[in-house]
Amino acid sequence: MKDPALYLVHIAESIAKIERYTSNDPTTIGDGLVYDAVLRNLQTLSEAAQKLPEAIKLRHPEIPWQNIAGFRNVLVHDYLNGIDIVIIQRVIAREWPALKKQRCWPSCPRMCAEISKHKPISCMK
């Protein structure tokens, strides 16, 4: 099993990349390259969140872990049926701001501090 802090790094990096790719404008996802990049980073973020130890998730109920895991399953298993671009735009427009600002992003440094008590690690850039 990877060091849990690495999963937090993946989460933080994915959030930063999605921010950079969309510039907080979900309509930019209409571009094929942006769509692919956002989709890949949503998958990375949700996969990393799913692999975090349960103990960490239980200490951070402010993050909708089950929703993130469920979304990961859609991304990974429904890709052959085609993932509707409108759904991804809706996620970025409606769910993303709260997840980023109120839940996931502010919690990453706290979670890093919790799991890094016995060893130095910088989980946030």
Residue 72 is among the residues annotated as catalytic for this protein? yes
Burial bucket for residue 124 (CB in 10 Å: 0-12, 13-18, 19+):
middle
- Could you give the 3-state DSSP secondary structure of residue 6? helix
Catalytic residue among 72, 90, 94, 103: 72
Distance between CA atoms of 85 and 112, rounded to whole angstroms?
33
**92 close to 27: Cβ distance less than 8 angstroms:** no
Active site members? 72, 77
